Amino acid sequence: MEHSIALVTGTTSGLGYAAAGMLAVEGCRQVIVTGRSLAQVEKTAAQLADETKTQVFTPLELDLNDPANVHSAVAALVQQGRPIDFLLLNAGLIPFKQRMLTAAGVEASQAPLIGHHQLTIGLLNANLLSPNARIVIAGAEPARGGVPFFKYTDLPEFAAKYHQGDRSAAVEALIRNGPNVKYVPNNAYADAKLVIAWWTAALARRLPSGMAVYAVSPGGATATKVVRSASPVLKYLLIPIVNLIPGMNQTPKTAARRYIQASGFGTDVSGQFFASAKGKFSGPIEVQRQPHLHDRASQEAAWQAVVKVSGVDLSRPAS
C-alpha cells in the first residue's frame, strides 16, 4: 500500500471505518473516506487521524442513493487529478422488515450496487483508476447458497416463468423488487449479493489489462450498524445463535482484513467471488465455485440490468 491512494465507501462506521484505518497504518499516502453527510465524514476523518497518528485521510461527500451526488463526487476526484490505486466498495445494507425503495425505485439492499456501479464507471471513464488498480466490492456468504434462513432466486427459472426467458429483465425485476418478486428480507439480501457477484465477473471482462476486481465476503461480523435494519428472525434468532458458535463470528477489524488481503490478489483471479469455506463464516477466504456463480449468461444479464437501472455504462467497448 505504500505510496498508493485508496478510496473507501461507507467509512463512517463498521467495516469501512476499520478498513480505512488499516490502509493508513499499512502505508497509504492518501485514504479518501466517504459518507452521505460531509460533516459526519469530516468527523470520521479526524477520528481516524487521531487513532492512527497519521494525516492521510481526505473526506468526500458521497451518497450512493443520489446519482447527482455520485456525479459530483467523481467531478471532485477529477479536480484532484490523482488516480486511485485501491477502490473499496464497502457500503451495504441488510434489507428492512418492510420493503423500501429509493427515490429511483430500487430496493434498498440492491441500491448500494447501483451507486457503486455509477462511481466505478465514472472513475473508469475519467481515467481515474491507476493502470494496476484493484477494486474490491463487499459480497456476502448467502450468495453462494446453503446459508440457513437465506435463499437466492433461481434466475433462469424466474426469467422463464415471468420474463419470457429474458434474464436481464428478470435481474431488473429483482433490483426493483417488481410485481412478481415476493419480498422476503433475507432473500432480498441473498439476491442483492448474488447480483454483486455476477456484476463483478462481468466487470472483470471489461477492465483494461492490469486492473482487477473481486467480490469479497467479509464473513460474520455482527458488531456493526449494518444489522440495524435486519429482520427480527435475523436480528433476534440467527445472529444470537451465530454469536454462540466458535468460528462463526469475528470482529469488524478481522472481517475488514479480508478486503485488504484481496487488494493484493492478481489479475488471474479477477472477477471471482471470495468467501469463507463451506459451512463457515470466518477464517480463510477461498474462491467460490458453485455453478450458479459462474453462469456467464446470468453475469451478463446482471451487468445489462445494472447499466439500464443506473443509466451509466463504459464509454469504451467491452473487451
Q: What are the domain boundaries of the chain?
A: 5-310
CATH of domain 5-310: 3.40.50.720
Query: pLDDT tens-digit profile of 9-18?
Result: 999 999 999 9
Rounded to two decimals, the pTM is 0.91
CA distances 232 to 96, 186, 240, Å, are 10, 10, 11
Q: At what angle do helices 155-162 and 296-310 cross, to 10 degrees?
A: 60
Least confident among 111-125, 144-158, 162-176, 220-234: 220-234
Please classify residue 285 by burial: count the beta carbons closer than 10 Å to its beta carbon, then call 0-12 exposed, 13-18 middle and 19+ buried: buried
* Residue bearing cell 475519467: 126
Across the range 116-141, mean pLDDT stands at: 97
Across the range 142-149, mean pLDDT stands at: 92
* Residue bearing cell 455504462: 313
What is the H or E stretch that residue 5 is in?
strand 5-8
Percent of the chain with pLDDT over 70: 89
Kindly state the cell numbers that stand for 279: 459451512
Query: pLDDT tens-digit profile of 181-240?
Result: 999 999 999 999 999 999 999 999 999 999 999 999 999 766 555 555 555 655 555 655
Confidence of residue 281 (pLDDT cuts 50, 70, 90): confident
Across the range 253-279, mean pLDDT stands at: 95
- Rounded to the nearest angstrom, the gap between the alpha carbon of residue 89 and the centroid of all alpha carbons in its chain is 5
Query: pLDDT tens-digit profile of 66-95?
Result: 999 999 999 999 999 999 999 999 998 888
